[in-house]
Amino acid sequence: MNNQNVHVLIIDDNEDILFMLRSMFQFKGYQVTVKENADDIENFIMGLSPDIILMDMLLSGANGSELCKQIKSNMDIASIPVVMISAMPHADKICLEAGADYFVSKPFEMDKMISTVAGAVENRNPVI
Amino acid sequence: MLDPHTPPYLSKKRSLLSARGEMSELMASKDWSKTLLGDIDLWPQSLLTATSIILNSKFPMFIFWGREQICLYNDAYRPSLGINGKHPNILGMPGEKAWPDIWHIIKPMLDGVMAGGEATWNEDQLIPIYRNGELEDVYWTFSYSPINDESGKPGGVFVTCMETTEKVFMLHNKDEKENELNTLIRKLEKSEEKFRNTVKQAPTGIAFFRGKDFVLEMANKNYLQLIDKEESAVVGKPMFEFVPEVEEIVRPLIENVLLTGIPYTDDELKVVLNRYGKAEEAYFNLVYQPFFEADGRVSGVMVVANEVTASVKSKLGLKVNEEKLRLAIEGTSLGTFEIDLLTNAIEYSDRYLEIYGFQPHEQPTRQEVIDRLYEEDKVIRLHSFEEALVSGMLEYEARVISTDTITKWIRVRGKIIYDNDNKPIKVLGTVIDITKEKNTLRLIEESEVRLRLALEGTRLATWDLDLQTRNILYSPRLLEIFGHDKTKILTHQEMRNQVHPDDIHAVVEKAFAEAEETGMYYYEARIIKPDKTISWIKTHGNMIFDNNKVPVRMIGTLSDITESKTIEESMAKMAAIVQSSGDAIIGKTTQGIITSWNDAAENIFGYAAEEMIGQSIYKLIPEDRVDEELLIMGKIKSGERLKHFETKRLRKDKTLIDLSITVSPIKDSNNNIIGASKIARDITSQKKTEKLITENQYRLNTAIEAAEMGTWELDMVTDEVQYSQRYLEILELDPSRHPTHDEIITVIYPDDLPLRNKMIKEAMEKGTLEMELRIITMQTKSIKWVKSRAKVFYDTNGKPLKMMGIILDITAEKMKAEELRTREEKFRLLANSMPQLVWTSDTEGNLNYFNQSVYSYSGITKKQMEEKGWIQIVHPEDRDENIKKWMQSVKTGKDFLFEHRFRKHNGEFRWQLSRAIPQKDPNGNIQMWVGTSTDIHEIKESEQQKDLFISMASHELKTPITSIKGYVQILLSMHNDSNDTFLKNSLFTVNKQIGVLTNLIGDLLDMSKIKSGSLQLNREAFNLNSMVKEIITDMEHTEPKHDFIFNAGKDVELSGDKERIGQVLINFLTNAIKYSPNSNIININSTIEDDYAIVSVADKGIGINKADQQKIFDRFYRVEGKDEKTFPGFGIGLFIASEIIQRHKGKIKVESEPGKGSIFSFLLPLEK
């Protein structure tokens, strides 16, 4: 699949991180949408229909893992792979338990981030 | 057919002599014409026959032929002539010429036989002959018998002989034999001698004669038997009518008794009695007892008589018997025999046949001879033969079946002959009839029995009791037995009163009741003599009844049997003592054969009685002490006693045991030594004790010496005092002046004198003294402390006799104690003025001192502290760990360091850092612990805040870093193909340093986690080699200059926190890179060893010296290079790595050599 056909949704309340990630994926040719908060997230995702969601675990005003659980329990969007990122210790465990498909700790290697996302998209349930 | 051994030239006569053997060859080849006998062809037939017989016999034989007594002999005789002696020269030589050395002995015998006399018999006769180059004492048993010639008269003398030298020497010396016989006879004499003065007991004849005519009123059966008369023929008749033959002797005696009233007693009174159809001499021990009427008149005489004829006669006959016996034994002729052990053939003399009860013409086989023995004795014979085959000597005694009423005894002795291979081939021996010898022994035994019987009857008292009036008459001997002098008059009641209370009913009255039934009165009972000693009496009596069968009278004898009773009792006691003795008591014969063996012997030696009785004592004697036993037995045989001889003996298990033995001869009643008793005491423990005492004495002396003690001894009676040199030195007294007790007392410090006097007084009662005193030294007038200890010794009345003791200079000790006391005071003063909590503990970990601050802080009293302990102020959550840590320190002696919360008086718990250090003496032994507790509550709280801060900060720091790192990597990607190397290098460096920064932040976070105990492990199963590979791949990205060479071992699945373990490996790798400035090769290994998976990282860097290797896993430690250039990093990486590995129950290690590099490795336990 061509990266340009892959639509990545990035949710992070830290603007710097959000734009850095957008630059990184855009540089790699992905189609990127960013969101700074968790407001009306389910509807947003349903409206957007991204191929993959990249989300920080700690969002102001919302708990990332709770958010992840919502996504994964909404049948319309549950099939979208979720990659969670965090600087918190043991966040990986919390995120995976919440239903996240992948976890990347902060700070991360660009290569690792890109390959994780690419792998996640490739492995997602084929939607025909 | 011609015998090949017979030379053809031999004449017919010569061929008669053609036996095999040296002598027959010699005779055949000898030129006899040159001898007085002339050529063999001219020899008379009788000589030829005799010669032929001897040449064919295996028994030593010799012929003296003719007037000249020409010598001829056979092969069997030949050895008797020895080497370098008469053989072969005397063959054919005249006797006088051949035997000049013994001619004077044998000529008369030869002449006697030649003159037609009987054959002679000589046994073990000493006839010295010249042989083996010298004149030897040779013993012979021989017989000379005539050989009649054709004229029917003796033409020569046939000698059968046997050399018995060996027998005489080895078995019995002739003198010894005589001694043996004499001993037997002396034994007999002695026992008879004892017999002479005794009255032969039963049957006692009792008769009563009344009036001047001595009319027999009553007589018992025994009396009637003694005089061989019917009762009807004598009762009512005067004595001398029915025994007139005794009148001459008896009348004067008995009349005297009747006249004077004085009893008459006599031993061995000889009278001639007409009885059993003849007049015979008889001997009596008798008592004539006067019989008093109520008015004091003597109306009759009672006769009590014991016949002792047999014993008197046997005594008188002894001398005759002795002679007969001697002759019998000396004259006994030996039978001789020879057994071929290969063919079992037996040859024997006529006498031999006679002894076994065969006729001279009979030719019994060996078995037939054996069958003549008693069945039981055949076993003895067999056994003796078996022994003989080993020892070479045969000897046994056995009984031969004979038609005589007397058992026939024989003694067989022999010698085994061996061939060159030491195989027994022959037995040569003798047999002798020892029946008489045996009978003598029996006679002795019998006379011993008689003696015992006689002893019982010795010195009988007689008594006569009127059952109606209870009047009793008795002989003076009765008074003696009852312990009174002869003037005393005893009533029957008085006698009865003397009977032992226990025996009155049970014995005396019972015997009386029986007498009423049977007429016979008999008992043995105890009496109490006036001197309160107890005697045993035995009484025999007859009860006399009137026509109405009412008992009217009893007559009897009474004797003192105390001795035999006592012996009986003491024998029983002895036996019990022997058996129960703790000492081994062993009886043995003079030959060393064990005859008794008690329980203790079994315990000491390990052999049971049945194993040892009949065995030789040598079984117990170690080989190297055999001589000692011979010496002991030698002494015993000479009647000596051996006391407390310390030696060693062998036990059954072959171990040696230390014993003290006492050996005493055992004598028979005639004082002959027949054996020995051996008392052995196990002194193993005694030996040990002795050794111990010696050692202890030595130790004591050493101790006294080492402790610089002075010793002293005070005689409480004389007040004399003795002391050692050191004693005076301690008291600083002048030894040359020999100070007295009083002088010594003057050195005592006056203030301490009352104490000293009090202590001495107390010591008299307690038995021990222990005091510390001050003394003033004479010279320097300084004060010295001495310690005195003593023990008091008392006499049997409990009066103190002596005091023995020691003194010790304890000045230094006292000074030190004083110094300690002042020091401690100072310490307390200091401790109490400190704001910190200060406490001390003994070596066991018991806290025994708390300073004032402890009480003020906690608000509890000293009493509460003593009651409930210090733990009450520790926070309940900290108590278990606190106690555990503290006891660990006490046990190991390592400093105690612990953070815990103490309850303040207001209930608040505050953190304290407690630290305790052991106080050691110069030898490194812990004396006590001194501990302090410092309030660290504030520090602790700020630290917790700091940890929280670090935790927060690290997270907060990560966000900007993530952003920076992201942009740098985007830039790096964007300019990957750019030619702007500066830009690229800058970006690369920024990226790398961000990595370092990330790690530092991680470390900081981990540190705070470790400190707060919140480092958590996310255990999962992972493949170790895969993990290592992943990390190496990552590293290769950031460290492209380095080569990571992974040598992967066996694949293994581990359970653990993969990320954390990876962190450890990253730490090892970054360190390897960091500390290897001049090398870029890093080797990584994974292996399995024992139960661990091991991953190691080896670099060729600067290395770490030994001292530092211990510390690198500590917090904030960092290796420094030689050029003092510091290497980056907080130095907490290895601390964290170590913590992670330990949390996985693994081990972390380092091997390193400065300048060569380091190998870091971690070991993780494999899943079971």
Q: Do B1116 and B1130 form a contact (C-beta atoms < 8 A)? A: yes
Mean pLDDT of B451-465: 60
The pLDDT value given to residue A121: 87
Query: From the centroid of its chain, how far is CA B471?
Result: 66
Q: Number of CB pairs < 8 Å for A and B?
A: 60
Tell me the three-class secondary structure of B455-476, residue by residue: HHHCCCEEEEEECCCCCEEECH
pLDDT digits (tens, 9 = 90+) for B413-436: 888 888 777 888 888 877 877 777
Distance CA B481, CA B561 (A): 10
Chain B residue with the nearest C-alpha to that of A19 = B963
Please name every residue paired with A32 in a beta bridge, in sequence order, or none if there are none: A8
Q: Name which of B960, B970, B998 is nearest A24 (Cβ-Cβ).
A: B970
pLDDT digits (tens, 9 = 90+) for B632-643: 877 877 777 777
All residues of chain A having their beta carbon less than 8 Å from the beta carbon of residue B1018 are 90, 93
Say yes or no: A1 contacts chain B, CB-CB below 8 A: no
Closest alpha carbon to A107 in B424, B961, B184, B465: B961
DSSP states of B398-459: EEE--SSSSPEEEEEEEEEEE-TTS-EEEEEEEEEE-HHHHHHHHHHHHHHHHHHHHHHHTT
The pLDDT value given to residue B1124: 37
What angle is formed at CA B379 by the lines to CA B378 and CA B381, rounded to 5 degrees?
65
Compute CA distances B775 → A125, B712, B713, B759, whole Å. 108, 17, 19, 16
Say yes or no: A89 contacts chain B, CB-CB below 8 A: yes
Q: Report helix, strand and coil shares of chain B as percent, to nearest 5.
A: 40, 30, 30
pLDDT classification of B1123: cutoffs 50, 70, 90? very low
Say yes or no: A21 contacts chain B, CB-CB below 8 A: yes
The pLDDT value given to residue B405: 65
Distance CA B1161, CA B1156 (A): 17
pLDDT digits (tens, 9 = 90+) for B861-906: 988 888 888 889 999 999 999 999 999 999 998 999 999 999 999 9
All residues of chain B having their beta carbon less than 8 Å from the beta carbon of residue A24 are 966, 969-970
Distance between first and last Cα of chain A: 14
Greatest alpha-carbon pair distance for chain B in Å reads 184
Mean pLDDT of B917-945: 86
Mean pLDDT of chain B: 79
Lowest mean pLDDT among B629-638, B807-816, B918-927: B629-638
Please name every residue paired with B556 in a beta bridge, in sequence order, or none if there are none: B463, B541
Q: Name which of A23, A88, A107 is nearest B970 (Cβ-Cβ).
A: A23
Please name every residue paired with B22 in a beta bridge, in sequence order, or none if there are none: none
pLDDT classification of B690: cutoffs 50, 70, 90? low
B37 or B193: which leads in pLDDT: B37
Cβ–Cβ gap B960/A16 under 8 Å:
yes
Cβ–Cβ gap A89/B966 under 8 Å:
no
Q: Do A33 and A48 form a contact (C-beta atoms < 8 A)? A: yes
Distance CA B49, CA B890 (A): 118
Q: Name which of B955, B966, B1034 is nearest A110 (Cβ-Cβ).
A: B966
Cβ–Cβ gap B959/A20 under 8 Å:
no
Residue A87 zone, left/alpha/beta (φ > 0; ψ -120 to 50; rest): alpha
The pLDDT value given to residue B535: 87
pLDDT digits (tens, 9 = 90+) for A31-82: 999 998 888 888 999 999 999 999 988 776 677 888 888 898 988 898 899 9
DSSP states of B1099-1161: --SS---HHHHTTTTSTT---B-TT-PBPSS-S-HHHHHHHHHHHTT-EEEEEEETTTEEEEE
All residues of chain A having their beta carbon less than 8 Å from the beta carbon of residue B1009 are 89
Q: Do B405 and B397 form a contact (C-beta atoms < 8 A)? A: no
Sign of CA dihedral B471, B476, B481, B484: positive
For B305, phi then psi, to 5°, come to: -130, 135
Please name every residue paired with B148 in a beta bridge, in sequence order, or none if there are none: B154
Cβ–Cβ gap A87/B998 under 8 Å:
no
Name the pairing type of β-strands B1092-1098 and B1053-1056.
unpaired
Chain A residue with the nearest C-alpha to that of B957 = A87
Q: Name which of B958, B974, B1016 is nearest A106 (Cβ-Cβ).
A: B958
- d(CA B1115, nearest CA chain A) in Å: 22
All residues of chain B having their beta carbon less than 8 Å from the beta carbon of residue A87 are 955, 958-959, 962
Helix or strand (DSSP H, E) at B692: helix B684-706
Say yes or no: B974 contacts chain A, CB-CB below 8 A: yes
Say yes or no: A58 contacts chain B, CB-CB below 8 A: no
The pLDDT value given to residue B140: 78
Distance CA B424, CA B250 (A): 73
Q: Name which of B962, B1018, B1034 is nearest A106 (Cβ-Cβ).
A: B962
Q: What is the DSSP letter of B332?
A: P
All residues of chain B having their beta carbon less than 8 Å from the beta carbon of residue A26 are none
Residues 6+ apart with CB under 8 A from B590: B633, B636, B637, B673, B674, B675, B676
Closest alpha carbon to B670 in B173, B195, B172: B195
pLDDT digits (tens, 9 = 90+) for B541-551: 788 787 788 88
Cβ–Cβ gap B966/A24 under 8 Å:
yes
B456: pLDDT strictly greater than 60: no
B936: pLDDT strictly greater than 60: yes
pLDDT classification of B702: cutoffs 50, 70, 90? low
Mean pLDDT of B599-621: 85
Closest alpha carbon to B1027 in B1074, B1069, B992: B1069
Interface with chain A: mutation pick from B958, B959, B1136, highest number of A CBs within 10 Å: B959
Distance CA B429, CA B348 (A): 9
Residues 6+ apart with CB under 8 A from B48: B13, B16, B17, B40
Lowest mean pLDDT among B156-160, B747-751, B825-829: B825-829
The pLDDT value given to residue A34: 93
B1028: pLDDT strictly greater than 90: yes
Name the pairing type of β-strands B1157-1165 and B1092-1098.
antiparallel
Q: Which of B830-834, B921-925, B978-982 has the highest mean pLDDT?
A: B978-982
Cβ–Cβ gap B965/A107 under 8 Å:
yes
Distance CA B839, CA B220 (A): 113
Residue for token pair 């290897």: B1076
B202: pLDDT strictly greater than 50: no
pLDDT digits (tens, 9 = 90+) for B775-795: 888 888 888 888 888 888 888
Q: Do B710 and B808 form a contact (C-beta atoms < 8 A)? A: yes
The pLDDT value given to residue B318: 44
